[in-house]
Structure 1
């Protein structure tokens, strides 16, 4: 490796690549790509704009709030060329997170897109400290008139490059101060450890505001290889993208390996060019199977935002597969395992992992006390408890930190607690990690309620919903347990170990807001809604497929919420031109999963509301939504198709709305939507509950077309292309042509009243019992 990288700055690396191999591909987003020379010129022009238009001076902070688009790395590198410090912002942040980060960083300029500009404007108008913050829409970045040569600013290895926010060990997010040397050395170290070169193709799917795409960019600049950036991680479509782009390397962490492994095996699994996968937290039990299935080494790498890469399992170390080892120290790092007094512990005994060497952060921005706690005598205290194995490798045991790590996301308990405790009905909370098979850990909140507030599911859901308006989705608690008080330390802090120990022997009233239930009402295995919903990108269209064919794609609450979320994510039009909803097997969906039987009206309301949520999501999208109705569409699933902009079926398509006949609920929203589509036929469909086959559905206007089963999804995609020509005004027309949301909300309100009456009268339960009785009799 040598003693040090030959180039000291990221901008210097880009300049070298632009001069030495100007026409080589550097960045690829979707079907578009840019060479090293193109990115070098663009970033130089934008750096001039920052200096001459925005008045950015050396050391000023430039925030970036964007999804995975090419403008993200362009703004990053442009800010560095201007001598500024980049401040990555999670593009899913809501007002509370965003306000804190912008105030804490002291950003002068923020680059964003049209979708997020409104939120930023609200924040700047509400916060006097942010009144002078300049908001730049990347759609018109204003760089074109400026010179394509870099400004005279010359950063050095020690020049601050990023304020990279991380949840740290406790409290609200802290910004790690990362220099040019940090990034250059991180790319240089990873290049040496992996043996990657200019013939490789790197691929990343994580949000660019996180560390991983950024160090992948540094790696690409180091070795002169292209970096492919996916819009987001999709387990169902990930390896199709790996094959399409002929990627040879990628990095995954958290729940990503598990979600990939849970995808159905395919004959194409070994059809890829991958020669190395790096991962953090790969599940020991499936490590060898991951390698066998996709035919490449998967090797563990360990590090933190504060320290870059610390531990690494080499490609040649086959004994590390499935061992749980995090590997050996990287050549530029030294590690120790110490007790609370800082003394080294013997091999095999647990202690805290501490590291030194390069790269390493300078400290936490404006937090000297926090810096002093973590950086002591040149050693970074990671907060992770490990043991040193006989072979010298390091194995993780647990964490000292008060953190939840959900699917690769670091979540500070204190931040979630603060959001929960803003609710008037909450006296105090304590947030902890709950083990989870898919995500590694889930967020659990212990909640002490104000006097007189009912400790029921409705209250739990309401508290979590309110907190969710302030938090990113991944931070919202899944589990809520109500307690009457908290065990406390002598300093009056909540003792979370004592709290969890007490909950194990004397649990309070608990709710899993994402679990299915068996027919006897007892909790079942937590719902892994990701398993039941496939999300694929086909010709620029998001195809959302219900994948539970053995249950006729019956929907539980968790799957419905996941579907609504996926519709909203795709519905912005930012990365797709339309959405297709379909099912796997012989049914679009059998509607409500009647094995998830509600045990209270609060659960009935939650179930009904989750169907409402899908309707809201669909009618508020900015892109066309087409239902590809491959078979039976029952009840609430039928209603999902009705709020789509078109319905295409096959000869096997059949509509059935049995609610009125069973007394389960009254589909007021269906009544409203059906009347728009089929006029007088709506009355008999809702009140008479007939089965409507494909031909009749086409005749009365319930279906727009009937095609062969093998052509269904392709035809739905073709229709979206017809409706979204270049320079179109589709979004405007959709808002005019669709039913008004206030009308639908009125229908929902009537349905809620009817559902409550059905529950309280016993008709709801009787309808479900009648269904199971008839099913048992073979009817």
Structure 2
């Protein structure tokens, strides 16, 4: 069947995957449909097999419409077969990455409420272990694909009512910003993506599609839908291998394929082969084609490469037409498909002018129904509203906020410049990581690059890049200097990386993106050599995480951040504050831990700012305030609970840090003390905004009276949630986080609702900055610090504390 381009915006016919398979069986039953390795199956054979399995699921496993059937398999033919069989039974399929380990598997099974797990012998022990170890999963049944027992069941499909809006998949996202979320995807979602693919590319029965991605991703599944639409065979490789990929393309005579992420760069880094252009390709689709390599990719394999933009949540959004040669090498990501609208908006949802960066928002069909069991998260990303007069132009729900930072050109073209939260804040400039990575990956010596922020006392953050080199390139300082020098010809000066660390490879998410939290964690626990390329900089081993007076450990999936400078009562220097904010952000995504505990060593939680470093200019004061501001931001923006385990004295800025946390647990020795006002120095945002939320009318007495508040007093007014023995403190905090983050939880959404809005906090930052400038200009700030040191000439107070910061 050929779907012409002029029908791209029409509703697909048939409207369900099951009806589409039935139609292909009726008109092309003997034609090849699926090819795995050297084995292949026709549309008719797959139709019969899936019908028998559907009856088995209903009669043996008791599957009813709407029940969830999880599939944990590598790329074997049983994957798409059980997908289609479960859909014929009216069930909802839950794809599970075959590389998952115990924690991930248990989370998905529990969150989805799966009744059946389909797996193979290699994964059966893990599945059994998870099911046996969790009473909530005791009734889940397991099917081993080695003996599916389908032969004795009817060869015709069960009489189950299915329509375009019937839920087909719970497709889990990779979970790099918290617990994975399941997108609810209907039959219309999959059929419409297949329809759009076939109509855009002109696919027909003479084509051969090829995919190498795991079936737990969405890409092979829409490839199945496209093959069903066009009546063309789909070749499925066991896995992606850059060295052998195009040999497989030639062997199977593939005409159409889709690659994504780092795959194009890895392919182009392979040694040239005289047979590279000896292929049947007429089109390659790719997401995020490296702009500088685009023409080289086309030239090497003799086929057009065109951009496809979309997300699991929304399917196909924008496509570069086959004849659109003008976009080659521009970085443009295509034009909206007829069933979609796109807008580029600022933080308030207002459309930005051409040439200015903003967030890409999308609406129309296909689109997920929402996130499974997460209405608050659904409402956050799928928002109503839009340009006046355009409501209802496109059928569908709200505008999907993609999180992608883009620029729209005068011609309407869209170019991605980064992720909204994947930025480095260097001085007053925002550096988009993706732009720096793209410049580096144009270098023939570089296989891959990943940019992360590195804390810096002066600029706030510096640009650091992890680089994977091509084979045979020495990982030394000379190579680092040469790569950065070449990249510097393409980047503004403030975007050029200062630090380079070479790696053998990158940890990746299930969607093949580099997992930057995992990369930073790996670098912290197994540091390599970091090349500091500023003038006079040196190459040195990467610092251990315990440096900067902050120790980082993980217990029971909870990150414990410990201030570890007891001889100075854990006074916070600038480096420690930078490291603390960075550590909170790293673990606060929820990708690797379920919560954060912040505590101290010795008898002090922290004595606030280290006043041994007296500011010599207002710039020093500004850095001091901004670093405390940034800790507040980091804590309030986490997607996991943060608990302060206040083991002793919490003075000044340290007292205010505890106010940012979601709870405070103390010991009998806990004391809070904010002495700044007594010395004429302004308080911080945490006191002005957060303290009144916690203790109401007691806030004035604490701040203006500048008195000490002991543990019982803090408990009485609500500043402490409980008091425990010192040896139970951290363990009690961990217990609380575990209790607050059960499987299938909405903790992140509740945190967002319960915490103060960042607009209110940012306004407090601005007020404090004005007050701090006034205090510095009037001489009050310096006089207040000097009066502290004058006081230290007298007998040391009983606690020996160094009072905190402004």
What's the TM-score once normalised by structure 1's chain length? 0.55
Q: Which moved more, 1:273-282 or 1:2-11?
A: 2-11
In structure 1, C-alpha distance between the alignment counterparts of 2:146 and 2:331, rounded to whole Å: 46
Change in CA separation of 1:485 and 1:320 when aligned onto 2, cut-off 3 Å = same
Q: How far apart are residue 445 of structure 1 and its match?
A: 2.3
Structure 1 residues 410-451: Cα deviation after superposition (integer angstroms, max 9, x where no partner): xxx9xxxxxxxxxxxxxxxx9x9956568774633269999x
Q: How many Å separate the matches in 2 of 1:315 and 1:175?
A: 33
Aligned: 1:93 with 2:106: no
Matched residue, 1:384: 404
Change (3 A) 1:268 1:385: same
How far has the Cα of 1:192 moved from its partner?
A: 1.1
Contact 1:337 1:345 in 2 (8 A): yes
2:38 paired residue among 31, 36, 40: 31
Counterparts of 2:365 and 2:192, CA distance in 1: 7
2:15 maps to 8
**Bigger Rg, which one:** 2
Q: Any idea what SS the aligned residue of 2:316 has?
A: coil
Q: Does 1:170 align with 2:174?
A: no
Distance 1:83 1:318, change over 3 A: same
Within the candidate set 320, 323, 335, 1:316 is matched to: 323
> How big is the shift at 1:457?
8.1
Distance 2:90 2:331 in 1: 42
Counterpart secondary structure, 1:299: strand
Counterpart CA distance in 2 for 1:437 and 1:82 is 47
For residues 358-406 of structure 1, the C-alpha deviation after alignment (integer angstroms, 9 at most, x for no partner) is 0000000000000000001111110111010122110001112569999
Q: Secondary structure at the match of 2:194?
A: helix
Contact 2:524 2:545 in 1 (8 A): no
Is the CA contact (8 Å cut-off) linking 1:448 and 1:484 kept in structure 2?
no
2 CA distance for matches of 1:225 and 1:15?
15
Alignment of 1:155-234 (within 5 A): 155-167=162-174, 170-234=177-241
Who is 1:445 aligned against?
Answer: 520
Show the counterpart of 1:337.
344
User: Is the CA contact 1:61–1:105 (under 8 Å) kept in the aligned structure 2?
Assistant: yes
Report if aligned partners of 1:434, 1:441 keep a CA contact under 8 Å in 2.
no
Residues of 1 paired with 2:308 and 2:414: CA distance? 11
Q: Is the contact between residue 348 and residue 387 of structure 1 (CA under 8 Å) also seen in structure 2?
A: yes
Work out the CA distance in 2 between the residues paired with 1:304 and 1:124.
Answer: 31
Give distance in 1, aligned partners of 2:92 and 2:326. Answer: 42
Give 1:235's aligned residue: 242
Structure 2 residue matching 1:68: 3-state secondary structure: coil
Q: CA deviation at 1:195?
A: 1.3
Q: 1:400 to 1:293 in 2, by over 3 A?
A: same
Using the TM superposition, give the Cα deviation of residue 167 of structure 1 relative to its aligned residue in structure 2, in angstroms: 3.1
Find out whether 1:266 has 2:286 as its counterpart: no
Structure-2 residue corresponding to 1:427: none
Q: Is the 8 A contact 1:278 1:301 kept in 2?
A: yes
- Unpaired runs of at least 5, structure 2: 1-6, 385-397, 424-432, 439-449, 451-460, 470-505, 507-512, 526-539, 547-552, 558-573, 590-622, 628-806
Aligned counterparts of 1:448 and 1:398: Cα–Cα separation in 2: 23
Determine helix, strand or coil for the equivalent of 1:391: coil
Mapped partners of 1:85, 1:45: distance in 2: 17
Which of 379, 396, 399 aligns to 2:419? It is 399
Distance 1:72 1:296 in 2: 30
The 2-side partners of 1:376 and 1:124 are apart by 38
Match of 1:280 in 2: 287
Q: Partner of 2:656 in structure 1?
A: none
TM-score w.r.t. structure 2 length? Answer: 0.54
Which range is displaced more, 312-321 or 218-227? 312-321
Secondary structure of 2:132's counterpart equals helix
TM-aligned CA distance change 1:132 to 1:459, over 3 Å:
farther
Give the corresponding residue for 1:658. none
Alpha carbons of structure 1 residues 494 and 247: separation in structure 2 relative to 1, 3 Å: closer
Deviation at 1:488, TM superposition (A): 7.1
Give the equivalent residue in structure 2 for 1:68. 75
Residues matched between the structures, number:
463
Q: CA shift at 1:286, angstroms?
A: 1.1
Query: Counterparts of 1:174 and 1:119 in 2: how far apart (Å)?
Result: 22
> 2:141 corresponds to which residue?
134
Whether the 8 Å CA contact 2:524–2:544 is kept in 1: the answer is no
Matched position secondary structure for 2:123: helix
In structure 2, the CA distance between the partners of 1:29 and 1:460, relative to structure 1 (3 Å rule), is farther
Alignment of 1:223-622 (within 5 A): 223-377=230-384, 378-401=398-421, 436=467, 441=514, 443=516, 444-445=519-520, 484-486=576-578
Q: State the match for 1:48 in structure 2.
A: 55
Q: Deviations over 1:588-615 (max 9, x none)?
A: xxxxxxxxxxxxxxxxxxxxxxxxxxxx
Distance 2:52 2:374 in 1: 34
What is the CA-CA distance between 1:493 and the residue it aligns to? 6.6
SS at match of 1:309: strand
Structure 1 residues 467 and 227: CA distance shift in structure 2, 3 A: farther
CA 436–349 in structure 1, closer or farther in 2 if over 3 Å, else same: farther
1:110 is aligned to 2:143: no
Q: Structure 1 residues 468 and 321, CA, compared in 2 at 3 Å: closer, same or farther?
A: farther
Give the conservation status (yes or no) of the 8 Å contact 2:12–2:192.
yes
In the aligned structure 1, how far is the partner of 2:235 from the partner of 2:111? 32
For residues 128 and 316 of structure 2, the distance between their equivalents in structure 1, rounded to whole angstroms, comes to 37
Whether the 8 Å CA contact 2:524–2:543 is kept in 1: the answer is: no
The alpha carbon displacement at 1:142 in A equals 1.4
Rounded to whole Å, the distance in 1 between the matches of 2:66 and 2:43 is 26
Instruction: Describe the shift of the 1:496–1:433 C-alpha distance in structure 2 as closer, same or farther (beyond 3 A).
Output: farther
Residues of 2 paired with 1:9 and 1:484: CA distance?
A: 57
- 1:206-232 CA-to-partner distances (Å, cap 9, x unmatched) read 001101100000000010000000000
Q: CA RMSD in A?
A: 3.7
Q: Secondary structure at the match of 2:62?
A: coil
In 1, the alpha carbon distance for the partners of 2:543 and 2:346 equals 45
Relative distance call for 1:3 and 1:365 in structure 2 (3 A) is same
- 1:198 Cα shift? 1.2
DSSP 3-state at the match of 1:250 = strand
Q: 2:213 aligns to what SS in structure 1?
A: coil
Deviation of 1:3 after TM superposition, in Å, equals 2.3
Residue 612 (structure 1) aligns with: none
- Residue in 2 aligned with 1:123? 130
